[in-house]
Structure 1
Amino acid sequence: MTMRQPTRPAGGIPRGLSRTGSVFFSYGFRPFFLGAAIVAVGVMFLWILALTQGLAVGGSYGASAWHAHEMLFGFASAVVTGFLLTAVPNWTGRLPVSGPPLMALFGLWLAGRIVLIDPDLLTVDIAVTIDSLFLPAFLLVCAREIIAGRKWKELKVLAILALLSLANIGFHVGTLTGETTGIVQRLAVSAYIVLIMIVGGRIIPSFSRNWLNQKGQTRFPVPYNRFDAIAIIAGVMALGSWTLIPQDRLTGGVALVAGGLHAARLLRWRGHAVFAEKLLFVLHTAYAFVPLGLFTVALGQWQQLAPNAVLHVMTVGAISMMMLAVMTRATRGHTGRVLTASKITTASYVALLFAALLRPAADFLPAQGLELYAAAGLCWMLAFGLFIFEYGPMLTRVRRVV
């Protein structure tokens, strides 16, 4: 079949997969997945130089604040954008945003990355203003698509994007005023984890069931039911409590219960049965860090685990590993590749898993902290460097025929 030409609904923005123009901007996952991977490697490289050589990255914004911001709102927001620009058309039945509007959205995201490397060149106020525009703009794009498609049950995605937009602005305000940014960091992490709970609960059992069915198996993951809804509600309550009152005893108790529910939820998806296909198994592995993260919240409340360790179990383990899993699978699926993990892809998963384990370990072994930071950072760069090496050509040169 031929590619669909872009269409322009009345009062809307052009959409569609066109044979004309750059293939790179024919679908949202292409620029945003590749951009996210490049930022992941670049930010970590500069952060290691800041730690070891005193590189003044981030200027007066501060190297530590810059690193935290770029991971939470630079790298992670790009992956979410690439995923939703690809998923929302499937949910709504509308053609995807592509061409000049996609270029403009990507350009806005990229501008934020560039100006924050040395915000003093434009003044910090102008730099953070530029960066703060992207997430609200993306929220408006998604809102129009979901509302136009009348997919009211997907409005919860808009709520998550709104929280991320507010958290990003709050992070900037806290950094510039010298206030703590802990609460907005926890808010952003919680928003990403809730998105994983919702979307992961949709795609992981579905993909696993399809694969098992193709292999002639008859025991499938338990489909979404009331138990899943209870687990998600408990998870939202635990994360909300952790965001607002991380050291309260109530937080530890709710997080412990929620962690148990999500561990049981994961077991219902029969991850062990799909071990042979690493493209699938990594989704289960990434989701395992959700209950693990909730358990660490409980341990942190009982002062058995440092706050940074709790944060990195969720950010490197659950969020980043799920994002890499989605990036690899979506890229293969939407560029006509076989849905199976290559040796390079599997190596990237293993490298990121080591990063997810080594970074929190640094908080347990402060004497070896610098070495563990460096090892975790190198594993992180290897994981996303392998993604760039293998998937970069797919994202920039291979056009899907539909």
Structure 2
Amino acid sequence: MATLLSIQEAEQPLAPAPSWGAFLELGFRPVYLAGALWALIAVGLWIFAPHWLSGPLAGVAWHAHEMLWGFVATIAVGFLMTAGAAWTGINPVQGRALAILCALWLVARLGFLAGAGTPFLIATLAELLFFTLAAAALLRAVVVSRNARNYAVPVLLLALGVSDALFLLAAHDGDYALLMRQFNAGLLIMTLIALLVARRVIPFFAMRAVPGLQIPMQLRSGHIQLGASGIAVACLLADLPIAQALALAVAGVLSLQHWVSWKPQAVLHKPLLWILYLGYLSLGIGLLLAAASVAGVGVRPALHIHVIAMGGFSLLIIGMITRTALGHLGRPLEADRSMVASYALVIAATVFRLLALQPSALAIHLLHVAAFLWVAAFALYLWRFVPMMIRPRADRPAPAAAPVATPATIVRPGR
């Protein structure tokens, strides 16, 4: 009998440890988490502690600003920084530069909470730097790579920042009418960006996920849709309501036509897809309601805003920050129960918020229910995704484990 030290037993692979390098390697990691966290904090403050909000951005002005630019536009920046790396082969921002971008965003959020005076001015500067530097980083990537198809995207991102600056200036001057006009301009610019992104990714994602599914990318009508959305922004700023209403109606009708052509019945078994379809449908409906509101057809102004913002942006966001995060983290593109639950919670929050817009004795209670559901949805997202976001990709090869030598008794033949 001989004892040999020759048998190697492989250790069970351990989950990779959290890593700052991994966390800051692509824009979606910190920005998605920051946006989702702020989504639940901002709604919680607005509904349950509005007395904490003071200064030029107080009350409705703070709520409108923080939900559009502090949450929705922030998630758009995270998505575009990550998509830009795929479009161009150049990572627009990572590492220390990404950390600085996130620090600017955080300074803005805290400054706007601090009130008037110097904190408001510092927050405004940080906010504008956030959008300017993000747009510049994306512009550099598309220009260096000569990615002509996406030259307009950083320009749209910069326009979103300009609308933010004009909103903040109106808030500082106390001009509520001008403030609402700038908010509506920002809402339409964000809608244009959402339509552009959704029209590209939804058919692409659907045809990859559903075997045999063939649906049109709607390039030609998509260009008309984007042009109509841009005209709507210009008409808003030029105070041409009838032309604005017509442009909004064209964009809305085309959105619904796209949705039908993408065969929504084929994706009902794919939560990662139907949530995006539902968000795109809501954008189309919201644009038609916006057209009716601008034309004075008896639609309450708050209705189209919430259909676009909650039914459109928020459903697209909860779907995109799930699907794109899974893809870029090397995870299977399948929604688990917690993810589907977060989708259901955002949908329910949207329904209750829209019901709360109707004057009734139940309105305040419906509003509180909507807020609880909203907070729960994004808390659930954070619970599921924070552990993944702070670690390296799941499909990245781990360092080989050191061999472990163990004694083994070998019985020779015939013994």
Pairs within 5 Å for 1:121-270: 122-180=118-176, 181-213=179-211, 217=212, 219-242=213-236, 245=239, 248-270=241-263
State the one-letter code of the partner of 1:190.
L
Provide the C-alpha distance between the structure 2 equivalents of 1:381 and 1:368, rounded to a whole number of angstroms: 20
Tell me what 1:114 maps to: 110
How much does 1:170 deviate? 0.8
| Cα 1:50/1:261, change in 2 over 3 Å | same
Q: 1:320 aligns with which of 314, 322, 329?
A: 314
| Aligned pairs (5 A) from 1:26-65 | 26-51=25-50, 55-59=51-55, 61-65=57-61
Structure 2 counterpart of 1:392 = 386
Q: Which runs of 5+ in 1 are unaligned?
A: 1-18
Secondary structure in 2 matching 1:397:
coil
Q: Counterpart of 1:281?
A: 274
Contact 1:282 1:349 in 2 (8 A): yes
Q: Describe the superposition over 1:119-155 as per-residue Cα deviations: whole angstroms up to 9, x where unpaired.
A: 3484433332233221112111111111111112211
101-110 or 57-66, larger mean C-alpha shift: 57-66
1:311 Cα offset (Å): 1.0
For residues 261-313 of structure 1, what are the alpha-carbon distances to aligned partners after superposition, in whole Å with 9 as ceiling and x for unaligned? Answer: 21011111112101101011111111001110111113313342211111111
The answer to whether the 8 Å contact 1:198/1:232 transfers is yes
Distance 1:345 1:243 in 2: 39
Shift of 1:240: 4.3
Pairwise CA RMSD of aligned residues? Answer: 2.1
Which residue pairs with 2:404 in the alignment? none
81-90 vs 119-128, which moves further: 119-128
CA distance in 1, matches of 2:69, 2:54: 15
Q: 2:151 aligns to what SS in structure 1?
A: helix
Structure 1 residue matching 2:390: 3-state secondary structure: helix
**Other structure's SS at 2:379 match:** helix
Shift of residue 32, structure 1, vs aligned partner: 0.3
C-alpha distance in 2, partners of 1:85/1:254?
29
Shift of 1:366: 4.3
Q: Would the aligned equivalents of 1:220 and 1:270 in 2 still touch at CA under 8 Å?
A: no
**What is the identity, as a one-letter code, of the residue corresponding to 2:31?**
F
Using a 3 Å threshold, how does the CA distance of structure 1 residues 295 and 212 change in structure 2: closer, same or farther?
A: same
> Which residue is 1:105 aligned to?
101
Deviation of 1:71 after TM superposition, in Å, equals 1.0
Contact 1:309 1:359 in 2 (8 A): no
The CA deviation at 1:249 is 3.5
Does the 8 A contact of 1:27 with 1:98 survive in 2? yes
Name whichever of 149-158 and 92-101 sits farther off. 92-101
In structure 2, stretches of 5+ residues that fail to align are: 1-17, 397-415
CA distance in 2, matches of 1:380, 1:330: 21
Answer whether contact 2:110 2:123 (CA < 8 A) is retained: no
Distance 1:256 1:60 in 2: 34
The CA distance in 2 between the partners of 1:254 and 1:169, in whole Å, is: 25
How far does residue 401 in structure 1 lie from its aligned partner after superposition?
Answer: 4.4
User: Which AA in structure 1 matches 2:131?
Assistant: L
State the Cα distance separating 1:251 from its structure 2 match: 3.3
Question: 1:292 and 2:282 equivalent?
Answer: no
Structure number with greater Rg is 2
* Shift in Å, 1:110: 1.3
Question: Residues 345 and 373 of structure 2 are in contact (CA less than 8 Å); yes or no, is this contact kept in structure 1?
Answer: yes
TM-superposed CA distance for 1:243, in Å, is 5.9
- Give the length in aligned residue pairs: 376
Bigger shift: 159-168 or 249-258?
249-258
Equivalent residue letter for 1:211: A
User: Percent identity at matched positions?
Assistant: 28
- 1:336 pairs, out of 330, 342, 349, with 330
Query: Quick one: higher RCO (CA 8 Å, sep 6+), 1 or 2?
Result: 2
State the SS of the aligned residue for 2:94.
Answer: coil
CA offset at residue 358 of structure 1? 2.4
Structure 2 equivalent of residue 16 of structure 1: none
Letter in 1 for 2:393: R
TM superposition shift of 1:400: 4.7
What's the offset of the Cα at 1:343? Answer: 1.1
TM-score of the two chains, using structure 2 as the length reference: 0.85
TM-score by length of 1: 0.87
Q: Deviations over 1:166-204 (max 9, x none)?
A: 111111111110112111111111111111211111110
Q: What SS does the corresponding residue of 2:102 show, helix, strand or coil?
A: helix
1:95–1:253 Cα change, 3 Å: closer
